[in-house]
Amino acid sequence: MSSSPDSVRALSRGLNILRFLNRVGAARVAEIALELGLPRPTVYRLLNTLEEEGYVLYSGNDSRMRLSPLAATLGDSSSTRSRLCQVALPSLAKFTDAHAWPVDLSTYADTHMIIQESTHSRSPLSVDPGMVGYSLPMLRSSSGRAYLSVCAGREREIIIDLLRAENVVEDLPFLQKEWLDKKSYYLFQTRLCYTWSSIV
């Protein structure tokens, strides 16, 4: 099988982007272009292709690109996540079949919750069947708030500090002291009864 020099170069550049995103977690187009020494239009084209193939995800919250769970299946974490989904799916499906309500299995990654498994495709109440791989904001999603309510105190502090550093406008109301003090975590706890199947 023969390949043109252009196609080989595009493949090499695409793999370099995946390696870079795997190393840093998330990055904007300008950051990728600077790191790899590529023109922005080239990076946009490569990212569009990778997104169409399902290997990267765009987060509108912070304009960053992240690796998708599909890309993660190429690495060492794939077997663990695959087993996790295999174990959880029967329970998730049983709940949705009994109550019609869609549920998700989400895991924490880089100040976001990533949906690893979902029953939206089984639920007559869902209008978003393709939820696997979606990146959810920590402070503006029930799964993110539930995770914050049960994780260790030190981990919670680190996540909050990272969210402050990102300085996403939509998060600012939830980063106020009155929202984040210990009494406010009662609000997070109440979410657990609705999101028990969305958290690991």
Average pLDDT of the residues in 121-131: 78
Coil, strand, or helix at residue 147? helix
- List C-alpha distances in Å: 189 to 70, 128, 161, 181, 200: 31, 26, 21, 13, 15
Least confident range of 74-83, 104-113, 158-167, 181-190: 181-190
**CATH 1.10.10.10 boundaries in the chain:** 5-72
**CATH 3.30.450.40 boundaries in the chain:** 86-198
Q: Which residue has the higher pLDDT, 2 or 28?
A: 28
The pLDDT of residue 196 is 44
Q: Name which of 153, 111, 158, 102 is nearest 131 in CA terms.
A: 102
Res. 65 pLDDT band, cuts 50 70 90? confident
User: Tens digits of per-residue pLDDT, 3-28?
Assistant: 566 678 899 999 999 988 877 777 88
Global pTM value:
0.55
Domain 86-198 has CATH 3.30.450.40: yes
**Contact yes or no for 105/90 (Cβ under 8 A):** no
Write the DSSP symbol of residue 122. Answer: G
Write the DSSP symbol of residue 83. Answer: H
Question: For domain 5-72, which architecture applies?
Answer: Orthogonal Bundle (1.10)
- % of the chain with per-residue pLDDT over 70: 79
